[in-house]
Amino acid sequence: MSLQQFKARGFRCLEELEFAPDPVLNLISGPNASGKTSLLEAIYYLSRGRSFRASGNRELIKAGAKGFTLFGEILAAGETHRAGIEVAAGERHIRINGSNGTAADLANIIPVQAIDPEVHNLIQGGPEFRRRFLDWGVFHVKHSFLGCWRRYQQALRQRNAALRMGQPDSSVQAWDAELIAAGTEVDACRREYFDAYLSLLSPIVHEKLPFDSICVYHRGWPEDQSLSEALHQSRARDRAMGSTQMGPHRADLAVTVHDRRARYRVSRGQQKLLAATLVIAQTRFVADHGVTDLVLLVDDPAAELDRDNRGRLFDLLHSIPAQMFVTALEPEDLPWSDQGLMFHVEHGKLSSRL
Ligand SMILES: Nc1ncnc2c1ncn2[C@@H]1O[C@H](COP(=O)(O)OP(=O)(O)OP(=O)(O)O)[C@@H](O)[C@H]1O
Ligand SMILES: [Mg+2]
């Protein structure tokens, strides 16, 4: 079980919403613009501290309101936590069990994955979408990752500032030792995680999808060089660009379909199916590696998919080890309309359906 109680106030079209979700399956139906995606987005925000849509906090605040608050009662590893986020006047406050908390604390307590309207960006979008996706899993499975990633970010920021200001080589290189040590650790965590994840993903792709796809991890600098060598070699380019060009901040996952980059190769519906498969495999993988109490948000799974692909997606979602929140225009669009709890949204208000 995961999210036991959820409240949202002033978030998008949700003026005041409160409900006690089912521990396994929640089906949320309602017409266009009723607030289904907004509800999933609010749950996502409580875990991730950001939206899955490309929106700043200002757009998330209900028109005419001063801010929004989200609150959840979460059962994690046998303990109940009370977590809240308040966003108002350009500031964000996180409270966990009565004390101030951080976004990383929230992510730890309530691990949320989403198959949201932007999920195709995992295939179509820039490397940052795939890095964020990869790092979510690495963060939950490799506990040393957050520390080395923060150290790396800090050294990278300082090094880039020195490059931008045209400081002498000695000032730029002063950050290299930390950048190399932390960056090498970041890569090791990602690689180990990715290799294990791939051994679960590959058979799923081969068995369940109607096309062959391969996913390869690129660490952000050439495989035949150490990070130290790569930094040395790209020094002139770093100077010209005013920022560090090599390192784990440039990592990516190359997703290919029939040996061609998937973004050029597959249709929008296929992108959705493939991206959803990556997410579902990751949810299963993380659950297999000790992360319990997962939440999976699935927004309008039927959209953009033909009957066969819809069947494939529903099959992949079957008995997923996570508390699911699934939206649809009509409950009949989903294969599980006789299971879990059913809710209806209309004008941002949620009601139970019997
Ligand atoms: N900041 C905001 N304040 C008030 N309303 C907003 C805000 N942001 C978005 N909305 C409105 O919220 C409504 C619900 O949007 P949402 O995307 O949640 O609908 P939906 O039920 O998912 O619809 P669809 O079936 O079309 O996907 C829309 O009418 C949208 O214009
Ligand atoms: Mg929607």
Mean pLDDT, contiguous 10-residue spans, the chain (354 residues): 92 96 96 97 95 87 96 91 95 96 91 94 95 97 97 98 95 96 98 98 95 95 97 96 98 92 88 96 96 94 94 93 96 85 95 83
Tokens representing residue 35 in the block: 């607030």
Q: Is 354 in the pocket of ligand 1 (CB under 6 A)?
A: no
- Atom 8 in ligand 1: which residue has the minimum CA distance? 12
Domain boundaries, the chain: 1-111+291-354, 118-284
Per the DSSP assignment, residues forming a β-bridge with 74 are: 3, 81
pLDDT tens track for 75-85: 988 889 999 99
Q: Rounded distance, CA 354 to CA 345, Å?
A: 14
Which residues, other chains included, contact 231 with Cβ-Cβ below 8 Å and sequence gap of 6+? 176, 179, 180, 238, 244, 246, 247
Q: Is 12 in the pocket of ligand 1 (CB under 6 A)?
A: yes
Domain 118-284, second-level architecture:
Up-down Bundle (1.20)
Q: Which of 15, 16, 32, 38 to mutate to test the pocket of ligand 1 (most atoms within 8 A of CB)?
A: 38
Query: 226 vs 127, 163, 171, 229, 253, CA distance in Å?
Result: 22, 21, 21, 5, 19
* Predicted local distance difference test score (pLDDT) of residue 149: 98
- CATH topology classification for 1-111+291-354: Rossmann fold (3.40.50)
Percentage above 70 pLDDT, the chain: 99
For residue 48, the CA-to-ligand 2 centroid distance in Å is: 19
Query: Angle, to 10 degrees, between the axis of helix 268-288 and the axis of helix 127-141?
Result: 20
Query: 235 vs 12, 187, 291, CA distance in Å?
Result: 46, 21, 41
For residue 37, the CA-to-ligand 1 centroid distance in Å is: 7
Which of ligand 1's atoms lies nearest the C-alpha of 30?
21
Q: Which of 9, 11, 13 to mutate to test the pocket of ligand 1 (most atoms within 8 A of CB)?
A: 13
Query: Angle, to 10 degrees, between the axis of helix 176-208 and the axis of helix 268-288?
Result: 110
Length of the chain: 354
* Predicted local distance difference test score (pLDDT) of residue 244: 98
* Predicted local distance difference test score (pLDDT) of residue 1: 57
Q: Rounded distance, CA 48 to CA 16, Å?
A: 21
Shared fold status for 1-111+291-354 and 118-284: no
Q: Rounded distance, CA 166 to CA 152, Å?
A: 21
For residue 54, the CA-to-ligand 1 centroid distance in Å is: 14
Tokens representing residue 183 in the block: 């960056």
What's the angle, vertex CA 127, arms to CA 318 and CA 200, rounded to 5?
Answer: 35
Amino acid identity, position 126: G
For residue 71, the CA-to-ligand 2 centroid distance in Å is: 21
Q: Which of 16, 28, 34, 345 to mutate to test the pocket of ligand 1 (most atoms within 8 A of CB)?
A: 34
Which residues, other chains included, contact 276 with Cβ-Cβ below 8 Å and sequence gap of 6+? 115, 119, 301, 313, 316
- Atom 30 in ligand 1: which residue has the minimum CA distance? 33
For residue 343, the CA-to-ligand 2 centroid distance in Å is: 15
Q: Rounded distance, CA 142 to CA 129, Å?
A: 20
What's the angle, vertex CA 143, arms to CA 142 and CA 144, rounded to 5?
Answer: 95
Which of ligand 1's atoms lies nearest the C-alpha of 345?
21
Q: Which of 36, 44, 325 to mutate to test the pocket of ligand 1 (most atoms within 8 A of CB)?
A: 36
For residue 241, the CA-to-ligand 1 centroid distance in Å is: 40
Which of ligand 1's atoms lies nearest the C-alpha of 61?
1
Q: Is 10 in the pocket of ligand 1 (CB under 6 A)?
A: no
pTM of the model: 0.95
For residue 348, the CA-to-ligand 1 centroid distance in Å is: 8
For residue 32, the CA-to-ligand 2 centroid distance in Å is: 7
Q: Is 142 in the pocket of ligand 1 (CB under 6 A)?
A: no
Q: Is 68 in the pocket of ligand 1 (CB under 6 A)?
A: no
For residue 53, the CA-to-ligand 1 centroid distance in Å is: 12
